[in-house]
Amino acid sequence: MSDLGAEYAFRRFFDDHHTDLSRLAYLVTGDSQAADDLAADAFVEVWRHWERVQAADSPIAYARGIVTNLARQWIKKQTRERAGLLRLGLLRRDRSESDTPAVLDVRAALQRLPQRRRECVVLRYALDVPEKEVAAILGISVGAVKSHTSRGAAQLSEYLRGMPLMMGGHHG
């Protein structure tokens, strides 16, 4: 394929999938600013490995895998930085339930799920990615995807049921 052809194909891929990959990054990280950056970084990686991406069974699955890995690294970095700030006493850990909005917040509930479950739930339900593809993206078995997804979905509905509907915290 000529350079021009490759560039054209990549641009089409970018146009077709940019929104989807940004949304994936957003749902995994819960941070819209980071999501745009992560999606952009993912496309840099996709372009760097464009021949390999195009040759893949599912180029979008390949790209989703990159986004998921970048999101995972971003979360680890945030967690490390936050832990450092907590140690320095610059952040208070006490954020009980007082900042829970009146509306049920699926994003907040998603953030409470363990990483792997959150990734499975987001890929399966928010983006409707088939189990086999989720397994390939995350590098785990289809059985593990099924188990993480069902546990994650159950946990999510549990959290959503337990979230207070009124403003302000509740103590119990």
Q: Read off the pLDDT of residues 133-165 as tens digits, 9 standing for 90 and up.
A: 999 999 999 999 999 999 998 998 888 777 665
Mean pLDDT, all residues of the chain: 83
Class of domain 99-166: mainly alpha
The stretches of 30-141 forming alpha helices (DSSP H) are: 32-48, 50-55, 59-87, 106-112, 115-121, 131-138
First to last CA, the chain: 65
Q: Higher confidence at residue 109 or residue 149?
A: 149
Whether the pLDDT of residue 172 is over 50: the answer is no
The structural domains of the chain, with segments of one domain joined by +, span 1-91, 99-166
Task: Tell whether domain 1-91 is in CATH 1.10.730.
Answer: no
- What is the average pLDDT across 68-85? 82
